[in-house]
């Protein structure tokens, strides 16, 4: 029973983050779901619930989507999917936690050091390709997108809308690819179904919070979320080795 309550709390808080920031669900949920499920199970549950969030929000945020950037991300992400599924099929839990922890800490350091990059067509596509690989392999498209878009100083409304629209595509493709190559399980779908009410509650709360977050608060919250999650994963993986 305590594990179920913990699971629901993870989903609720991560849904609030996803709705209010555009990227929080997978970054928070995947590491914590690893405490309750096997890696492949945690990743698929994360993808299913993230897909539900994207479907629920897309109509309300579509006017803020940068469709030019979105098209580049989508076309490039397809190239990353085959490489991602190879990683997903041979994933090692400790190596997975260690790698993601290092990635998130490095990402946070670059953002805190005021990392900036000019936005170009080629960089849009590179980011899309990496996000496709990340989604299919570990269920986390957010880090490449967050580093790139924050580095280009994209506004919070456009960042949130464009990433959510991209997630709608890449999560669907990644889920289908994973099911084709490695299958799925009843546990994954039952757990996802049980979590739907928490997702819907998170959507409602997150939409309200988003209205009160200014650009500086958004940036600071991003740093805290990424650094805490990265440190947690790194410490946990080192203790297991």
> Could you report the average pLDDT of every consecutive run of 10 residues in the chain (241 residues)?
86 82 74 84 91 84 84 92 87 75 80 75 88 84 76 74 86 92 93 94 82 69 75 78 65
pLDDT of residue 190: 95
pLDDT of residue 241: 65
- Report the number of distinct structural domains present in the chain: 1
Torsion angle of C-alpha atoms 157, 223, 96, 73, degrees rounded to 10: 30
Q: Is 34 left (phi over 0), alpha (psi -120 to 50) or beta?
A: alpha
pLDDT of residue 21: 66
Contacts of 161 by beta carbon, 8 Å cutoff, 6+ apart: 22, 61, 62, 63, 64, 65, 66
pLDDT of residue 227: 82
Name the pTM for this structure.
Answer: 0.81
Give the structural domain span for 54. Answer: 2-240
pLDDT of residue 1: 63
Contacts of 168 by beta carbon, 8 Å cutoff, 6+ apart: 51, 54, 55, 58
pLDDT of residue 22: 63
pLDDT of residue 23: 65
Q: Return the ∠ at Cα 83 (arms to 56 and 107), rounded to 5°.
A: 65
pLDDT of residue 155: 73
3-state secondary structure of 23: coil
The position carrying tokens 């805290």 is 224
Nearest to 28 by CA among 38, 36, 17: 17
């Amino acid at each position: 029973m305590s594990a179920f309550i913990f699971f629901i709390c993870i989903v609720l808080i991560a849904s609030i983050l996803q709705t209010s920031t555009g990227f929080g669900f997978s970054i928070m949920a995947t590491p914590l779901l690893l405490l309750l499920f096997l890696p492949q199970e945690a990743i698929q549950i994360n993808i299913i619930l993230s897909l539900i969030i994207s479907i629920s929000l897309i109509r309300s945020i579509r006017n803020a989507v940068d469709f030019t950037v979105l098209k580049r991300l989508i076309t490039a992400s397809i190239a990353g999917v085959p490489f991602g599924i190879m990683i997903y099929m041979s994933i090692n839990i400790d190596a997975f936690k260690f790698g993601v922890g290092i990635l998130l800490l490095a990402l946070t350091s670059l953002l805190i050091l005021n990392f900036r990059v000019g936005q170009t067509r080629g960089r849009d596509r590179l980011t899309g390709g990496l996000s496709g690989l990340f989604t299919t392999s570990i269920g986390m498209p957010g880090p490449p997108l967050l580093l790139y878009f924050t580095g280009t100083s994209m506004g919070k409304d456009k960042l949130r809308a464009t990433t959510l629209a991209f997630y709608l595509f890449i999560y669907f493709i990644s889920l289908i690819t994973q099911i084709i190559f490695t299958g799925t399980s009843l546990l994954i779908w039952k757990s996802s179904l049980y979590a739907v009410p928490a997702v819907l509650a998170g959507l409602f709360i997150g939409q309200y919070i988003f209205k009160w977050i200014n650009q500086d608060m958004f940036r600071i919250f991003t740093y805290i979320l990424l650094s805490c999650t990265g440190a947690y994963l790194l410490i946990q993986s080192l203790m297991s080795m």
